[in-house]
Every structure is written in structure tokens, then in C-alpha cells.
Amino acid sequence: MFSVKPLANLRFGKEPEKEAEEQRVVQLFRNRAELKKAYASLQDEVHRLKDRLKQQEGATARVQEMLEGLEARLAAPETAYPALVFYHLRGLWGIGRELISQLVADLARQQEEKERRHHLTESNRRQFARRQAIDAQLREAETTASEAVARLADAQRRLAALTRVWHYFQRRELGRRVHALEANSQAAAALLAQARQAHEALASEQAAEFPGLSVEARRAINLAAIGYAELLCLRLARTPLVAQARDAAARREVIDDYGARAECERLMGDIARAKAVLQHRGQLSQELRARTDRLRQLAKYRSASDSMPTVESIGMAEGDVLDRGAQGANASRLPNVLAEDTWDLFRIVLR
């Protein structure tokens, strides 16, 4: 005799405890890989932040050095006055830039309101026309479906009344008609469902967003900005202040090219009067309109989508002066404000 182990003691596959342990080990390896990846990402972020901190420290050190140099200049009379002239010139340049920026902002706001109202009106008009067409289609589909259902019901009623033997041929002919009317009714119901779906889609459709200022509007505003820049130059055409202000605005550090104290005081007085001249708004609208009309005739663009004219097309023409001629300046002496980026035009104009 030999003994047979009970079937309950037989093992098929891995033991549950061993399999669970292997799953825990796999999960631990996965967690370890994810932690290593997150650690590497954090290390990269730390390195980036350290680089940015070094750059900021360098920029702060340069600014501190400039401030210390400026303090040293202001402490000595022979260098303090040139520094004052330098910043007065930068202020003159800033006034010109601010005047043109304000003009562009005002014109852009006015034109945007106008074009936004026009866009809303046109959108409402188009949507109203579409709504009328879809409503007409829906009413027509409802009428067609109602008539198809009525015809089918009438045919079915007449078919149900033909119960006699001698009605056999009539019943067969009317049955064919009922079948055709059922197909027609189903088609009318499908068209009605489509019309209702189109009506619901239109009701839930949102108004089209305003796309922004048109190319024509941006061109007109940019030409006004260029014309205003030319006007500001014309107002100072008898002085070298525009060129001096441009040079000061392009520099980061003070220069000593403005002479002794008396010359610096005289120059600061000229700058103060020039600021008042730039901010004077008498006859500004007429002068600006005349220069904008001139630029509109001369301006050429590289493509239909460009809002800035080419530099060569807007150069000052011989004899191009203000109508009132108060400054008595020959316009041919004035700079091409766009080519020389006078008053920082390229930061102001609309793209």
C-alpha cells in the first residue's frame, strides 16, 4: 500500500505571500525611479535659480556702481551740472515719447470703440438674417411634416375601412399608397429634426469675438504718430536739442560734453522752454491733419498686412513745412523720424 497526499496540499503556481512580496519589491523600484527623476528635476531647477540669482546680483551690482558714480558726479560742481543737463535731455526725449504714446492710445481707443460697434452691428445683422432664414425653414419643415402626417392618417383610416372581400384590389392599391406616404412622412420628420437642430444651434451660438483693429485703422494711427513725431521735431528745428536728446537717451552713463556751469545752465533753460513748446497744443489738430494727409499720399507698404510704411517712402520733402511757419524751419533739414526711431517710435506704433 502507498499513501496519496490530499489534494488540498497540492500547490499550483506561486504562493500568495511570495507573489505579494514580489509586487511590493516592484513597486519600491518604481517609487525609487520616480523619486530619482523628481530629484534630478529639482536639481535642475536649483541650478537655474542659482544662475538667475547670479545674473540678478550682477545687475544689482552694476546699478549700484552706476548710483555710486552718479553720487560722485553730483558731489562735484564741475560734473554735477553736466549730469543735470544729461537727465534734462532724457526727460525731454521722454516727454516727446509720452506725447506720441498718448496720441496713439487715444486714437486706438476711439477707433476700437468705433470698429467694435460696427462689428457688433454687422454680427447682429448677419445673425438676424440667418435666424430669419432658419425660422422660415423650420416653419416650412413643420408644415410639411404636419401635412405628411395628416395624409398618412387619412390613407390609413380609409385602408382600415376596406374590410370587404370585393375591396381586395382597392386595399392593395391603397396599401402601396400608405407605404409611400409612410416613407414621405419619415423624410419630412427627418427634415424637421434637422431644422430644429439648426434652430437650437443658432440660439446657442455665441457672438463672434472682435478681431481687433483693422489694418487700415492701424495704418492711419501709425501715420498720425509719425506725423506727430515730425511736428515735435519741427517745433525744435532751430535748436540741436532733438539730436542731443537722442544721444542722451541712447546712453546709460552721464557724459561731460555740455560745457561749464554757465553753458549747462543756459542749456537747461533751453530744455525747459523746449518742453513747454512740445506740450503746446495750439493748432495741433490742423497741423497733425495736414502732415497725416501728406504721409498718406507718400506711404508705401511691403505687403497688404503691414501696418508700418517703408522707411524710404516717408522721407521729408523739400519745402515741407508747417502751414503757419512759426519756426521758419526748412523741412529738408529734419530727420526721417521712422528711420532714426525718433522719440522711440518703434516702441509706440501699432503692429
DSSP secondary structure code for residue 3 in this structure? -
Percent of the chain with pLDDT over 90: 34
Cα separation, 131 vs 325, in Å, equals 59
The pLDDT of residue 322 is above 50: no
pLDDT, mean of residues 84-108: 95
Kindly indicate the confidence band of residue 330, based on its pLDDT and cuts at 50, 70 and 90. Answer: very low
Cα separation, 46 vs 36, in Å, equals 15
- Pick the closest to residue 291 from 245, 235, 241, 238 (CA basis): 235
Q: Tell me the average pLDDT of the chain.
A: 84
The pLDDT of residue 196 is above 80: yes
Highest mean pLDDT among 21-35, 189-203, 266-280: 266-280
Cα separation, 256 vs 85, in Å, equals 9
Q: What is the pLDDT of residues 278-301, one digit of tens each?
A: 999 888 889 999 999 999 999 999
Highest mean pLDDT among 58-72, 242-256, 307-321: 242-256
pLDDT, mean of residues 266-287: 91
Cα separation, 88 vs 66, in Å, equals 18
The pLDDT of residue 8 is above 60: no
The pLDDT of residue 99 is above 80: yes
pLDDT, mean of residues 48-63: 86
